[in-house]
Chain A
Amino acid sequence: MANNIGRVKVREQEPFIRGKNFEEVCLGYNSEEAILEASRCLNCKNPKCVSACPVKIKIPSFIEKIKGGNFYESFEILSEDTSLPAVCGRVCPQETQCEGSCILGIKGEAVAIGKLERFVADYVRHNPKVLKSNEIIRNGLKVAVIGSGPAGLACAYDLAKMGYDITIFESLHKPGGVLTYGIPEFRLPKAEVVEKEIDKLKDLGIKIETDVFIGRTITIDELFDQENFKAAFIGSGAGLPQFPNVIGENLNGVFSANEFLTRNNLMRAFDNEYDTPFFCGKKVCVVGGGNVAMDAARTALRCGAEVTLVYRRSEKELPARREEVHHAVEEGVKFELLTNPIEIKGDEKGWVKSIVCVRMELGEPDSSGRRSPIPIKGSEFEIETDSVIVALGTKINRIIADTTPGMEVDSKGRIIVENTATSRKGVFAGGDVVTGAATVILAMGEGRKAASAIDKYIKSLK
């Protein structure tokens, strides 16, 4: 075992080049690199990485297959637990999950589990071969999956493999949820990766109906009564973007990160062939410190803007993945940490002119254990900017809950669940709609959990 070598570096586009294009930043391992990196895995008897994985991928086993160059077998092991390995390998926060628990990480560097997962998925996609898939015995029982993001796709995948007849309903014109509208092309290519992963699901017989907004186009009750669905899974995602609640937040040039990213990712504003209206500005200020904030900042940068990111806590508390922060810094995003916006100023025509901020210091830890930021008196200063992009999280969209009688929600409007079952019979929920904004992989984990709960529920009906 070559655990005396360091972690194999992954090739990336140079920062000064990639800062001007929307091509993928990370180029991934080739076969030799992957085999070499895989050889570092100790194949622990009691693998901590697996318990740290929200979908419990059999990590040492899939890596073991890479060591021997058996990439297809490795892929089959991955596929037992995840429908989206090419996605997860790219966007999971591995440093706090699998890789964060890797024994090698205690003294040195963890095995690059994410990059290996991505390698296997990409290899099989580029070198397709009919794999011996266990034949699905179809039971003809219909289950509706609401939302085609990570939670919905994971739930649909598991249920389809169990034999259920699945229809996914999506309100936008393309499936994928946040994978399609939210995460940018340079981090997660759409045609090459997302669409291909979704095609695999369609090959399992899963139907996807776009342009259906559940609660408006049709209700869950109607799906049950008129279309003979036996159960439904709600994975409709987080919902309404939050604004900072400061003066000037409705000025022209203030956008939610959701709008800014949707116009670029789903509606491909960066491509002139598309009609999508878009405004970026020469100077852009992004407010927030999560992955969405990093995505917005790096997108604006690629549109040619000078970008400043404002976050109220310090670098240590940035909720974004390390890799994203690191990439943003490399590409030239300017960070104003311990800084909070207090007002957005506009010109006579109502367009953003500047953002007024105040410096913060960290006080006592709050109930969540994080030190809460407190404004420093008299430290106000102004940043000139043409637009402000707000990435401060989301509030729950209540439309599904409001149009589904008998479904209970908490004071914030989140659907109340017990092991993914809502208070409404036959209706299950998971992902951001239940937990509030979280990660792709946590949503997938919930989707999987719901799939087995739905299977149990439907069997109990007989």
Chain B
Amino acid sequence: MYKILVKKQLTPLIYYMEIDAPRVAASAKPGQFLIVKSSEKGERIPLTICDYDSSKGVISIVIQIVGASSYKICMLKEGEYLDNVLGPLGKPSDFMDFTDEQLKNRRYIFIAGGVGSAPIYPQVKYLYNKGVYVDVIIGARNKDLLVMEDQMRNVCNNLYVCTDDGSKGEKGLVTNLLERLIENGEKYDSGVAIGPMVMMKFVTLSAKKYNLPLVVSLNTLMVDGTGMCGACRVSVAGKMKFACVDGPEFNAYDVDFDEAMRRQRIYNDFEDVENKKLGLDTLLKR
């Protein structure tokens, strides 16, 4: 049982929680994720780690209501408990293996879509604290899906914000912003994109135009998160990989995004029924 110490509603669909999980907090590194189950009969769902404090034994998550299971987690109150929090899972980001010397002169660009700003936050913070040059683009469909702006501003060199409908930041897509920055002469050695699969696919296409090395973090379906079931399998450079143990981060150019997007939809019909039961169907027009 993992106590919810703090809960805040960030937007109509997005919540922030701090959770008492000492073992996870002690080991978490940028790039890793969790599997969370709200209650006895709940589903195990993968969630990203937004921040962690090993001295307090606390981790924070940012979670968007996308269906029945995330809804049930979001409806828990401060002081209540999550049944299960497993993690940290997956491999840490590749730059964790770099020495300070290797990192020193590198320039990074992070591109986050929607709640993808949560998992990039610990990565950006880690690099920025090491004196690495980091720019960040956060984009979302509209302002209700845009989070972490203020925290992010404190840990990066430049923050660029955009929304599809112009309700916050400039109007446009993250890909437009990325391309414009590069066209205007910004030089980056590496990029990291995290967000919805389709967004990562298009960021990959944009990055390719400029030969920008890019890493993406794949949010596939998962069950155990330990390499036991293969629900999370993806094709990377033509080989079968398990996102939970081989990833979640992969070289963007090697990922078969179309297959990954199709596999994400396996349980859509099932979930539509569940969402209807909870009256979520109107809240979440797909």
Contacts and interface: CB of A to CB of B under 8 A. Distances in A.
B27 A240 contact: no
Contact of B240 (A218, A250, A397): A250
Contact of B270 (A237, A250, A252, A277): A277
Interface string A274-311: 11111100000000000000000000000000000000
B242 A240 contact: yes
Interface string A242-261: 01000001101101101100
A212 B225 CA distance: 12
Contacts of A181: 228
A385 to B, nearest CB: 16
Given A240-B242, A241-B229, A397-B245, A216 B89 contact: yes
Contact of B86 (A171, A249, A253, A350): A171
A172 interface: yes
Given A262-B224, A277-B271, A173 B83 contact: yes
Interface stretch (B41-49, B133-141, B160-168): B41-49
Contact of A273 (B41, B231, B263): B41
A187 interface: no
B230 A259 contact: yes
B26 interface: yes
A259 B231 contact: yes
Given A213-B89, A279-B270, A250 B228 contact: no
Contact of A173 (B24, B44, B230): B44
B229 A399 contact: no
Contacts of A252: 262-263, 265-266
A210 interface: yes
A284 B37 CA distance: 29
A263 interface: yes
Interface in B104-121: none
A375 B85 CA distance: 48
Interface residues of B, number: 44
B267 to A, nearest CB: 4
A194 interface: no
Contacts of B262: 252, 349-350
Contacts of A212: 23, 86
A267 interface: yes
Contacts of B44: 173, 267
B84 interface: yes
A181 B44 CA distance: 14
A352 to B, nearest CB: 11
Interface in B22-56: 23-24, 26-27, 32, 37, 41-44
A239 interface: yes
B84 A397 contact: no
Interface in A372-386: none
A315 interface: no
Given A211-B84, A218-B23, A399-B245, A243 B270 contact: no
Contacts of A399: 226-227, 245
Q: How large is the interface on A (under 10, 10 to 19, 20 to 34, 35 or more residues)?
A: 35 or more
A236 to B, nearest CB: 9
A217 B24 contact: yes
Describe B's contact surface by its main secondary structure. Answer: mixed
B179 interface: no
Given A239-B228, A250-B233, A275-B274, A259 B223 contact: yes
B228 A262 contact: yes
B274 A213 contact: no
B68 interface: yes
B235 A397 contact: no
Contact of B229 (A218, A262, A268, A350): A262
Given A172-B224, A262-B223, A241 B41 contact: no
A397 B246 CA distance: 11
Contacts of B43: 267, 274-277
* Most chain A beta carbons < 10 A, residue from B32, B41, B42: B41
Interface string A61-87: 000000000000000000000000000
Interface in A202-240: 210-213, 216-218, 237, 239-240
A240 B229 CA distance: 7
A171 B35 CA distance: 10
Given A216-B27, A241-B228, A241-B230, A173 B88 contact: no
Interface string B73-90: 000000000011111111
* Most chain A beta carbons < 10 A, residue from B88, B227, B259: B227
Contact of A171 (B68, B226, B235): B226
A243 B235 CA distance: 13
Contacts of A172: 224, 226
A274 B41 contact: yes
A173 B27 contact: no
A239 B240 CA distance: 15
Contacts of B224: 171-172, 262
A217 B23 contact: yes
B68 A216 contact: no
Nearest to A243: B240
Contacts of B27: 216-218
B69 interface: yes
A462 B12 CA distance: 62
B255 to A, nearest CB: 13
Contacts of A211: 23, 84-86
Given A218-B26, A255-B231, 13 more contacts: A171-B224, A181-B228, A217-B24, A217-B27, A240-B245, A252-B265, A256-B229, A259-B229, A262-B224, A275-B69, A275-B274, A277-B270, A279-B266
5 contacts: A240-B230, A241-B230, A276-B43, A277-B271, A399-B226
Interface of B: 23-24, 26-27, 32, 37, 41-44, 68-69, 72, 83-90, 223-231, 233, 235, 240, 242, 245, 259, 262-263, 265-267, 270-271, 274
Interface of A: 171-173, 181, 210-213, 216-218, 237, 239-241, 243, 249-250, 252-253, 255-256, 258-259, 262-263, 267-268, 273-279, 349-350, 397, 399
